[in-house]
Amino acid sequence: MVGIIPHRVCAEVEGEFVLFLIGARLNRPWKIHRWWPVLRAMPRMLAELAARPELGLLHHRLHGGLRSALVVQYWRSHALLQAYATARNRAHLPAWHAFNRAVGTNGDVGIWHETYLVGPGRFESVYVNMPPFGLGRAGALRDAVGSRATGEGRLAATAGPPGPAA
């Protein structure tokens, strides 16, 4: 399989970063005219962010279910996330205003997000037989050996200077 790393690796991100989870739930799936514009807006935002790395998005991954969608996002900082969310010349703010006009609190579509500020030494990860994934796509992958062989060791490693890349 292309891209599979056939050994244990862990992710490291230098400095602070933000884990941002955002999702939508179709409460009334038959009201396509209400949820279709909501679901269409996210790919436009993600394309804009991918084309402009200086806006702060490090990586994202979309997950979907029958009535819900979730986008896991890693951001360089909370300030950059907020700047994007409130910028009048970016895709998010017009989409948010359109959602409030079309759906608001009528219950047709649910929108949610959670924001986690993560600092050095406050995260760890391990991946085995995986391509670069999740935080490993947002940061750098390191071999999970020596001091990085355990969760405790990986936590300590993320608090210090990064070692050689895998």
- Quote the crossing angle between the two packed helices 92-102 and 78-86, to the nearest 10°: 60
156 vs 147: CA distance, rounded Å: 8
CA distance 5 to 91: 35
**Is residue 54 located within the same domain as residue 30?**
yes
Domain contains 4: no
What number of other Cβ atoms are within 10 A of residue 10's Cβ?
26
User: Do 112 and 40 fall into the same domain?
Assistant: yes
Q: Are residues 112 and 128 in the same domain?
A: no
| One domain, residues 112 and 134 | no
pLDDT score of 127? 95
DSSP 71: E
What pLDDT, on a 0 to 100 scale, did the predictor assign at position 27? Answer: 96
In Å, what is the CA distance from 93 to each residue of 83, 85, 89? 10, 6, 8
User: Does residue 47 have a pLDDT over 70?
Assistant: yes
DSSP code at position 161: -
Question: Do residues 26 and 86 both lie within one domain?
Answer: yes
pLDDT per position as a tens digit, 117-153: 999 989 999 999 999 999 999 999 999 999 999 999 9
Range of the domain at 136: 9-13+120-159
* pLDDT exceeds 80 at position 166: no
Looking at residue 158, what is its pLDDT? Answer: 86
Is residue 127 situated within a structural domain?
Answer: yes
Question: 89 and 132 share a domain?
Answer: no
Q: What secondary structure letter does DSSP report for 62?
A: E
Q: How many CB atoms lie within 10 A of CB 45?
A: 20
Tell me the pTM: 0.89
Q: Are residues 99 and 34 in the same domain?
A: yes
39 — pLDDT class (breaks 50, 70, 90):
confident
Whether pLDDT at 18 is above 70: yes
